């Protein structure tokens, strides 16, 4: 512990962890360093596995998103609302696989469905009857009649963009600044650009979201701010007759949580349709976490295409695209070939059917709503008690703390938030027995149907320790 800082111990349910009271904002850096040391001390087995993994796995993990400072956490198993790392530490899982694990872990309905299907066969590259049931249920929930299945959110948004171009005969795509839509070329533009890269707000610079994105691809993407219908109108006017579609998260999820302003979704839909362009909702994160029919049902603004993944399969990899008859007819008649060896895989279809029929029920959503309200109220009480300029944003089972007093309406507002508070919050939750996604400024927590009030109360207690440590 830094000798310049005085500290006290706050008791967590898993184990105790130190919290240091600070008087200046700059001291957050010292708190981060302290909590990072505790983080590493708790994980000797993870440290060992990382060293071994670097010999055979590029970067020592199976995805770059699994590599966050201080280091990746290697997991052993999960049960109910809990996960357990290889060092035997139990955590309340509010990471939720970036939104995939709304069923929690080892949900009996999903275990039974997948186990039965494994015994009957794991892959045929031919359809099974579960696919019909699933598509019918998705049509009921989202109000779009025709569906196809895929394997990941990236595949779903890729098919959606390609389908829109096929239908319209146009090449350009409008994309919201700061949104992530998967790792294919068409949408890897202005995902999380730095403040010095974004350019003027009226005409944001298209910043490659990764290396290896050709300029020719960037030139096919028109970037606009979120919650700004006028920018969409301007893009459609400046590129008249060239815009195939606009893709967006109807509740933006790549910068904390940014809800749509009143009338925004309806306004951009009308603008796009008036110009002959399509509206694509990326509901990969929001599709079931915000309600039974996602933001599509909550908003009452129907897109031409919706993309689903993550929570759809209860933890099994699966994705779907749904659309109007006019749009999806291009797949039906062969104008656009939507293909994939594992599309509609029987294991994925069995898991999806169990998730939709037995897990994500009306009672489950009532439970999630009650937990979300309890957690949000507790966090808001802590913020008020300590006089902090923060606020809580939640929608359905997802939520986040925005470490800023003013609401965030677009990505450029988000850029003004101090990253360090999100990092410190993540570390203190982890050391206090709650597992959250890293990059706490960016990502959201997820409640599952297997969480209970004790789980949310543990989260709130850790948050209270954070607030006490950084309060002015």
pLDDT value at residue 25: 55
Q: Are residues 417 and 299 part of one domain?
A: no
The answer to the question of residue 116 being in a domain is: yes
Span 115-132, pLDDT tens digits: 999 999 999 999 999 999
DSSP lists the bridge partners of residue 412 as none
The answer to the question of residue 37 being in a domain is: yes
The answer to the question of residue 57 being in a domain is: no
| Among the ranges given (2-6, 20-24, 275-279, 305-309), the one the predictor scored with the smallest mean pLDDT | 2-6
Q: Mean pLDDT, to the nearest integer, of 430-434?
A: 97
Q: Are residues 374 and 312 part of one domain?
A: no
**Cα separation of 326 and 273, whole Å?**
13
**Cα separation of 108 and 318, whole Å?**
19
Q: Are residues 399 and 327 part of one domain?
A: no
Q: Which of 308, 328, 359 is the last residue of a domain?
A: 359
The answer to the question of residue 314 being in a domain is: yes
The answer to the question of residue 55 being in a domain is: no
**Of 85, 282, 413, 455, which residue is the catalytic one?**
282
Q: Are residues 15 and 122 part of one domain?
A: no
229 pLDDT higher than 60: yes
26 pLDDT higher than 80: no
Q: Mean pLDDT, to the nearest integer, of 93-107?
A: 97
pLDDT value at residue 431: 97
Is 264 a catalytic site residue?
no
Residue partners of 348: CB distance under 8 A and separation at least 6? 149, 151, 313, 316, 317, 318, 342
pLDDT above 70 coverage of the chain, percent = 95
pLDDT value at residue 454: 98
Q: Mean pLDDT, to the nearest integer, of 157-168?
A: 98
Q: What is the 3-state secondary structure (H, E, C) of 3-38?
A: CCCCEEEECCCCCCEEEECCCCHHHHHHHHHHHHHH
The range of the structural domain enclosing residue 170 comes to 108-359
Q: Mean pLDDT, to the nearest integer, of 36-62?
A: 95
Q: Mean pLDDT, to the nearest integer, of 263-276?
A: 98
Q: How many residues does the chain have?
A: 472
pLDDT value at residue 4: 28
CATH number of the domain bearing residue 407: 3.90.1150.10
pLDDT value at residue 22: 42
Q: Are residues 280 and 260 part of one domain?
A: yes
**Of 310, 336, 413, 441, which residue is the catalytic one?**
310
Span 310-359, pLDDT tens digits: 999 999 999 999 999 999 999 999 999 999 999 999 999 999 999 999 99
Query: How does residue 254 score in pLDDT terms, banded at 50, 70 and 90?
Result: confident
375 pLDDT higher than 50: yes
Q: Are residues 434 and 343 part of one domain?
A: no
The answer to the question of residue 103 being in a domain is: no
Taking all residues of the chain, what is their mean pLDDT, rounded to a whole number? 93
CB 80 within 8 A of CB 72: no
Is 180 a catalytic site residue?
yes
The answer to the question of residue 88 being in a domain is: no
Q: Mean pLDDT, to the nearest integer, of 171-185?
A: 96
Query: How does residue 1 score in pLDDT terms, banded at 50, 70 and 90?
Result: very low
Q: Are residues 198 and 330 part of one domain?
A: yes
Count of domains in the chain? 2
**Of 91, 180, 264, 421, which residue is the catalytic one?**
180
Q: Mean pLDDT, to the nearest integer, of 219-233?
A: 98
Q: Which of 302, 330, 359 is the last residue of a domain?
A: 359
Is 282 a catalytic site residue?
yes
pLDDT value at residue 65: 87
Q: Are residues 302 and 258 part of one domain?
A: yes
Q: Which of 342, 359, 376 is the last residue of a domain?
A: 359
CATH number of the domain bearing residue 285: 3.40.640.10
Q: Are residues 373 and 291 part of one domain?
A: no
Query: How does residue 69 score in pLDDT terms, banded at 50, 70 and 90?
Result: confident
CA atoms within 13 A on the CB side of 205: 12
CA atoms within 13 A on the CB side of 166: 19
Minimal CA–CA distance to 155: which of 295, 339, 329, 312?
339
CB 386 within 8 A of CB 471: yes
150 pLDDT higher than 80: yes
The answer to the question of residue 292 being in a domain is: yes
- The better pLDDT of the pair 86, 217 is held by 86
Q: Are residues 369 and 322 part of one domain?
A: no
Q: Are residues 176 and 132 part of one domain?
A: yes
pLDDT value at residue 111: 98
Q: Are residues 172 and 148 part of one domain?
A: yes
191 pLDDT higher than 60: yes
């Amino acid at each position: 512990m830094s000798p310049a800082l005085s500290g006290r111990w706050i008791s967590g349910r898993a184990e105790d962890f130190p919290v240091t009271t600070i008087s200046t904002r700059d001291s957050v850096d010292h708190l981060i360093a302290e909590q990072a040391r505790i983080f590493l001390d708790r994980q000797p087995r993870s440290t060992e596995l990382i060293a071994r993994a670097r010999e055979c796995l590029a970067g020592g993990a199976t995805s770059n998103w699994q590599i966050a400072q201080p280091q990746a956490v290697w997991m052993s198993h999960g049960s109910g609302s809990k996960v357990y790392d290889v060092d035997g530490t139990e955590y309340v899982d509010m990471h939720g696989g970036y939104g995939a694990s709304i069923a929690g872990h080892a949900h009996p309905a999903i275990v039974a469905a997948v186990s039965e299907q494994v015994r009957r066969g794991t892959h045929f590259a031919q359809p099974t009857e579960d696919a019909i049931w699933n598509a019918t249920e998705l049509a009921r929930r989202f109000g779009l009649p025709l569906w196809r299945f895929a394997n990941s959110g990236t595949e779903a948004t890729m098919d959606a963009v390609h389908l829109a171009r096929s239908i319209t005969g146009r090449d350009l795509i409008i994309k919201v600044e700061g949104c992530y839509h998967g790792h294919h070329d068409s949408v890897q533009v202005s995902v999380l650009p730095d403040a010095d890269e974004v350019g003027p707000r009226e005409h944001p610079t298209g910043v490659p979201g990764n290396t290896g994105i050709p300029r020719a691809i960037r030139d096919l993407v028109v970037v606009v701010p979120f919650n700004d219908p006028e920018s969409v109108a301007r893009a459609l006017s400046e590129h008249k007759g060239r815009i195939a579609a606009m893709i967006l998260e109807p509740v933006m999820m790549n910068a904390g949580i940014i809800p749509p302003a009143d009338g925004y979704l309806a306004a951009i839909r009308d603008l796009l349709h008036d110009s002959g362009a399509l509206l694509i909702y990326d509901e990969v994160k929001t599709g079931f976490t915000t309600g039974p029919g996602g933001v599509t049902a909550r908003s009452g603004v129907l897109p031409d295409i919706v993309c689903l993944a993550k929570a759809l399969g209860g933890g099994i990899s699966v994705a779907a695209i749904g659309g109007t008859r006019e749009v999806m007819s291009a797949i039906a008649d062969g104008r656009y070939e939507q293909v994939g060896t594992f599309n509609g895989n029987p294991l994925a279809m069995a898991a999806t059917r169990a998730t939709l029929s037995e897990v994500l029920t009306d009672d489950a959503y009532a439970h999630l709503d009650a937990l979300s309200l309890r957690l949000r109220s507790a966090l808001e009480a802590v913020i008020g008690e300590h006089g902090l300029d923060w606020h809580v944003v939640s929608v359905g089972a997802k939520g986040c703390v925005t470490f800023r007093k003013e609401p965030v309406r677009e990505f450029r507002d988000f850029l003004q938030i101090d990253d360090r508070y999100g990092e410190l919050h993540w570390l203190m939750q982890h050391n206090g027995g709650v597992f959250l996604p890293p990059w706490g400024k960016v990502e959201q927590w997820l409640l599952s149907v297997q969480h209970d009030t004790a789980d949310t109360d543990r989260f709130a207690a850790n948050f209270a320790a954070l607030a006490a440590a950084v309060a002015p």
